[in-house]
């Protein structure tokens, strides 16, 4: 048998995990260890890959300081909603099992460079980070905790918008969360809003944009309706950078763009300036 007819031998060792991460933006290969060490920021093009809520908590807070709040608050299904892909309740339960989170936002108390805060972090992997009744209730409770403890409130947004499986109950959370944050401000406490990729729909139209400071990560998608919908409505071609963090900064909708590596120190400096 000639060499090219000989069956290929099975490799002596089958790798159990890829050693490379591929940047979704520029397609560069980055060693996974370096990718994790850089908090999923591409060293070639500075693309900020999405983080889940636990990764974000680890990035922003002092080690071991985070204590979760309102873990018992989860989704509701007031419409017993179902479509061709299945029941909403089943999808939500499957998402809870997959992500280990009970809702699209994780809330808790923590310290940021030894400054005590109340923190909420959205997770896009939970039904697109959608704003449901459980999300809104967790934010309300976080706001009340901030008032009770006299601590600043920080919310990190990552969302496709309102969770329409819950109908008007979902839309009501826009007003509910803004009212809760208004009470935080009335108590004289800072509210810092961090907008990450993506922050859109009902979240961008409510609590994400009412911070004392609205802070964005580089190149984050920030907007309300999608580009295609807007272009079809106004019959015009939009700029290439439309709805990026840089575009929204230039047009006055956000106050600062802060790279991920600098975000914790930036928050601490802002809070120290505010007297904390």
Percentage of the chain modeled with pLDDT above 90: 91
Give the C-alpha separation, 210 to 261, whole Å.
24
- At the top level of CATH, the class of 51-273 is alpha beta
CATH 3.90.226.10 intervals, the chain: 51-273
DSSP string of 148-178, one letter each residue: HHT--EEEEEEES-B-GGGTHHHHHHHHHHH
pLDDT tens-place string over residues 33-85: 999 999 999 999 999 999 999 999 999 999 999 999 999 999 999 999 999 99
Name the E strands within the chain.
20-22, 29-31, 67-69, 82-83, 86-87, 105-112, 115-122, 153-159, 191-199, 213-216, 256-257
Full-model pTM: 0.92
Name residue 111's beta-bridge partners. Answer: 116
Q: Take residue 256 and report the two structure tokens written for it.
A: 């600062």
Q: Give mean pLDDT, residues 125-143.
A: 98
Q: Which residue has the tokens 């106050």?
A: 255
Residue 2 pLDDT: 54
pLDDT tens-place string over residues 224-257: 998 999 999 999 999 999 999 999 999 999 999 9
Contact 98, 50 (CB under 8 A): no
Residue 3 pLDDT: 52
Residue 7 pLDDT: 60
């Amino acid at each position: 048998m000639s060499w090219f007819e000989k069956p290929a031998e099975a490799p002596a060792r089958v790798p159990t995990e890829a050693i490379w991460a591929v940047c979704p933006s520029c397609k560069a290969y980055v060693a996974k260890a370096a990718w994790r060490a850089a908090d999923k920021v591409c060293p070639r093009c500075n693309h900020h890959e999405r983080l889940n809520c636990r990764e974000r908590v680890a990035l922003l807070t002092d080690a071991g300081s985070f204590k979760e709040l309102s873990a018992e608050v989860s989704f509701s299904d007031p419409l017993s909603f179902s479509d061709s892909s299945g029941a909403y309740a089943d999808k939500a339960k499957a998402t809870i099992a997959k992500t280990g989170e009970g809702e699209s936002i994780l809330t808790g108390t923590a310290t940021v460079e030894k400054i005590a805060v109340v923190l909420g972090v959205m997770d896009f992997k939970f039904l697109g980070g959608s704003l449901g009744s459980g999300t809104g209730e967790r934010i309300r409770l976080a706001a009340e905790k901030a008032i009770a403890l006299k601590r600043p409130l920080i919310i990190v947004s990552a969302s496709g918008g309102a969770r329409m499986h819950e109908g008007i109950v979902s839309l009501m959370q826009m007003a509910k969360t803004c009212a809760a944050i208004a009470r935080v401000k009335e108590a004289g406490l800072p509210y810092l809003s961090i907008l990450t990729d993506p922050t859109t729909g009902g979240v961008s139209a409510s609590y994400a944009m009412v911070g004392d400071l609205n802070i964005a990560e580089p190149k984050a998608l920030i907007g309300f309706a999608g580009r295609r919908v807007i272009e079809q409505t106004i019959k015009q071609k939009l700029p290439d950078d439309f709805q990026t963090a840089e575009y929204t900064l230039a047009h006055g909708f956000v106050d600062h763009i802060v790279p991920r590596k600098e975000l914790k120190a930036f928050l601490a400096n802002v809070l120290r300036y505010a007297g904390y």
